[in-house]
Structure 1
Amino acid sequence: MPKIIQVGLVGFGLSGRYFHTPFLSVNPKFQLKKIASSRPDAVREFDSSIEWVATADELFADPAIDLVFICSPNETHVEYARKALEHGKHVVVEKPFALTEAEAIELLELAQRQGCIATAYQNRRWDSDFLTIKRLLADDALGALVDYECLYDRYSPVPPNSQSWKELPGPGRGNLYNLGPHLLDQALNLFGKPDTVQASIRILRPGSHVPDYFDIKLGYPDKIVRLESNLLVYQNHLRYSLHGTKGSFIKGGLDVQEERQRLNELPNQADWGVEPQDRWGTLYRDGKAEVIESAPGNYTPFYDNLYDAIVNGAEPAITPADIQQLARVIDLALESSQTQRTIAY
């Protein structure tokens, strides 16, 4: 009988409740056994058969748990991941995996010593728009790519009297650590290690205590790569602009999976991840404009690969090299913004 991986979850906010539990619940390779959270009622409402504990330490001490997802506030990721690994658990760490490259290396080396998998949750590799772009590039639809711009904007003014940890100052807070890892991971997955990093990281929203804007340019010899996110953009439809020697591709809208997860839908439906037509992108070439049907988004392959890595020794989709490279680019982006210089990788 195939092994079923016993899973523990630390944190039951947006990430734990709406991203991980739906996919774990419908995947027969996993059994969600225990959740450590300050919200016992939310855990019981989701599934009363899942055990609730008040602290992460109680969860780590459970010898039956094979794998732990770390979905707690950013500054706790390294401490919790370290404790889980020391207890012999495999770990998936929500972004950011760590707050510095040095911390990322420390965790990855600990995982190696423990004989455990430590990987990062980079679900946006399986977004509808990104899968569509990868397909177009593989098909040489644009020719040689010379300009890549990715925007991930939101309209999120600072709520009055907000007590959300995401709006409070502290290590690992702000948009660079929230949406930045998504944009950076996609670009690094497409283009590999950059030669240079140039960044501007700022506070634009009135009353904000955390940086809410970033503009990062990754330097490559043959193309322009620019990543930007602003939390005060009311009209935020545009997502991607790609320009190559044969044509351009312009794409708007966000992948639909998060919307559906927030409606308590489970990802076992036939139309899961299918984008509505008004979000499809347009390919411009040969004097024509062609609307391109988006590939369906689906985060399931992340979990299937994770199972294969733990049980069969496959390489994780998000490799240690990927994790370290992303952490280094964030370090360099901070240095670049502080010094107003372009930093060599």
Structure 2
Amino acid sequence: MSSKVLNVGLIGFGLSGRYFHSPFLSTNPNFKLKTVVERSKNEAQEFDPEIENARSTDELLSDPDIDLVFICTPNDTHFSYAMDALENGKHVVIEKPFSATAEEGKQLVALAKEKGLILTAYQNRRWDSDFLTIKKIIEEGKIGDVVEYECRYDRFRPVVPTESWKEKAVPVGGNLYNLGPHLLDQALVLFGEPNTVTADIRSVRPGSEIDDYFDIRLGYDDKLVIVKSSLMVYENFNRYNLHGTKGSFIKGGLDPQEETLRQNVLPTEQTLGREPENRWGKLYSEDFTGIIESEIGDYAPFYQNVYDAIVNGAELAVKPEEILRTCRVIDLAFESSNKKAVMAY
């Protein structure tokens, strides 16, 4: 195994760069968080004074010492920044959404392949406590064959005056691009490509400029998969409802890693992904009915896998073909909602 240390550059230092990536990159000895692009602020140095500052993306990408770039900027910049990074010979991790369309995604994947570079998407929710738990329950056959799967990711965020692009009618904006990639990636990991995609995407909040609600239904021969999200759900504890030929599993609550990271706790200081008992789900079946202790979530394996793929030739955990199928479903969901039609995958 190599002892090589990868120099990392972050483009952007908002929520994602500061609270998701920096804590894991700075505590993994295989990485050195070398440079962060901040056009006017110096918040990266508040996190770690040794981090260098770049005032432009070009300045970062022109540094020959940078091996790997994380793109943590507004959604509509992901494609252009990723293309530039790949053209400059950098390995790339893109925050969700990976791209605006499946066609853009294919261009990125093709360029990375041509250049012999690692390209992946930050699908960290595969390592959430709740998802690891339901994945294990399905794999162990505790509810038999799944016939219906529903996953929700709701929030209560009434519209308030803000200049944030996340509440504006901007390209590649809205809730489907924000939360949809997480829910769809999880469903596709569990069940593979669907036969059909049917969606209802709309604005439900008074004064909203964005799509803040979606209901996407993935059709399979033997099951129905539903992913939903609304920004107008006050009681948003509901997460997973699974029904199978032998039982059901119901679970609420979110993985605690994000909330803990936002309290400036590093992953080396405590176990971030241990859910409190009130978030554990309940299994209902003839064999057993009762509470199931949640698996422990941990985003660290994502970063180690990226390192191993770059340095040791390991297989990516979040593969390009998996990323592209999520992009395709999002494309089809918008088309389905606009046409009010069932779309063939």
Band of TM-score, shorter chain: over 0.9
Amino acid at match of 1:242: L
C-alpha deviation, 1:323, in angstroms: 1.0
- What per-residue deviation string (whole Å, max 9, x for no partner) do you get for residues 251-277 of structure 1? 000000000010000011343211000
Aligned to 1:255: 255
Amino acid at match of 1:27: N
C-alpha deviation, 1:41, in angstroms: 2.8
Matched, 1:173 2:173: yes
**CA contact under 8 A between 2:42 and 2:53: conserved in structure 1?**
no
**CA contact under 8 A between 1:146 and 1:223: conserved in structure 2?**
yes
Write the distance in 2 (CA, Å) between the matches of 1:39 and 1:183.
34
- Pairing 1:51-130 to 2, within 5 Å after superposition: 51-130=52-131
Amino acid at match of 1:132: T
- What per-residue deviation string (whole Å, max 9, x for no partner) do you get for residues 73-128 of structure 1? 00000000000000000000000110001000000000011110110000000000
| Runs of 4+ residues over 3 Å off in structure 1 | none
Matched, 1:297 2:334: no
Q: Give the structure-1-normalised TM-score.
A: 0.98
- Pairing 1:77-226 to 2, within 5 Å after superposition: 77-160=78-161, 162-226=162-226
Write the distance in 1 (CA, Å) between the matches of 2:114 and 2:60.
22
Q: Give the structure-2-normalised TM-score.
A: 0.98
C-alpha deviation, 1:289, in angstroms: 2.9
**CA contact under 8 A between 1:5 and 1:67: conserved in structure 2?**
yes
**What percentage of residue pairs aligned between the two structures are identical?**
59
Question: Which consecutive unaligned segments of at least 5 residues does structure 2 have?
Answer: none
Aligned to 2:4: 3
Write the distance in 2 (CA, Å) between the matches of 1:154 and 1:64.
41
C-alpha deviation, 1:38, in angstroms: 3.4
**SS at 1:179's partner residue?**
helix
C-alpha deviation, 1:239, in angstroms: 0.2
Amino acid at match of 2:300: T
**CA contact under 8 A between 1:12 and 1:39: conserved in structure 2?**
no
**SS at 1:315's partner residue?**
coil
Write the distance in 1 (CA, Å) between the matches of 2:260 and 2:40.
22
Could you tell which deviates more after superposition, 194-203 or 40-49?
40-49
Could you tell which deviates more after superposition, 69-78 or 311-320?
311-320
Question: Which consecutive unaligned segments of at least 5 residues does structure 1 have?
Answer: none
- Pairing 1:307-326 to 2, within 5 Å after superposition: 307-326=307-326
Aligned to 1:330: 330
Could you tell which deviates more after superposition, 84-93 or 261-270?
261-270
**CA contact under 8 A between 1:242 and 1:248: conserved in structure 2?**
yes
**SS at 1:188's partner residue?**
helix
C-alpha deviation, 1:287, in angstroms: 7.6
